[in-house]
Amino acid sequence: MSNKNQFSKYANEYKNHNIIQQIVAKSLVRELKFKPKRILELGCGSGQVFKHINWEIEFYKAIDASESMCELHPKAKNVEVKCFDFDTQEFISEISKEKYDIVLSSSALQWSKDLNKIIKTLSTISDEINAVLFTSNTFKTIQELTNTKSPILDETLIKEAFSNYFECNFETILYKLEFDNKKELFDYIKKSGVSPNASLSFKEAKKLYKEYNLNYLEFEVIFIKTVSKL
């Protein structure tokens, strides 16, 4: 199952299974050092970042690969919501001649197939990027038990991509989300949008369910603030 389909399938109930995403989206906006008027957001989802913008803006462009999510995002005269895969040339062509005070992205860019290319493009349309990405250490214990590799970018590659074009401040945080029982824990994994075990066979999934003895899930995220262009 593709990442896009994982997000789309549970679009209507996604808000109930993205606690960590909500936490980091709020932090992302709260930590802004100014109140930008023209904003581009990548991976807008149903509006987790936008709902925390409590100042007057001129224009807000929200991008997401899932049509289901785009339909749920708030609309307004000065808000443009478009469905694009940010790894495509179509997306790059869409924004190449635009200018923004800042680019925001929360819990999205870790899925990029070429993060370096995206950051290079963004460096031509804005001097500021504030982003938060999950790292490959999310669900680390599950990866160890299943002997699988995370589909998410690792911390080193994320830092390298941003550092090629900007001087940045980085902060990596490990969140642990606790559950009352194993069923709730595994249900959260399935619907969270950052599932590490979509490719497991029934036998492998059953083995994981039996052997996973923690009452929490691990989520590692990296907060990125660009300081200046190189």
The kind and range of the H/E element at 45 are none
At 186, the amino acid letter reads: F
pLDDT confidence of residue 44: 96
- Crossing angle of helices 115-122 and 155-163, rounded to 10°: 30
- Our measurement of the distance from residue 49's CA atom to the centroid of its chain's CA atoms, rounded to an integer in Å, reads 11
The pLDDT-based confidence of 200 (bands split at 50, 70, 90) is: confident
Please report the domains of the chain, with CATH numbers, ordered by start residue.
3-139+150-179+218-229 (3.40.50.150)
pTM: 0.90
CA distance 198 to 56: 41
CB-CB contact of 208 with 145 (8 Å):
yes
DSSP state of 180: S
The kind and range of the H/E element at 117 are helix 115-122
The kind and range of the H/E element at 140 are helix 140-146
Question: What is the per-residue pLDDT across 85-134, written as a single tens digit (0 to 9) for each?
Answer: 999 999 999 999 999 999 999 999 999 999 999 999 999 999 999 999 99
CB-CB contact of 109 with 43 (8 Å):
yes
**Residue 217 in tokens:** 């899930």
Q: Cα dist. 42→99, 127, 198 in Å?
A: 14, 16, 24
The kind and range of the H/E element at 39 are strand 38-42
**pLDDT higher than 50, residue 1:** no
* Residue whose structure tokens are 């036998």: 203
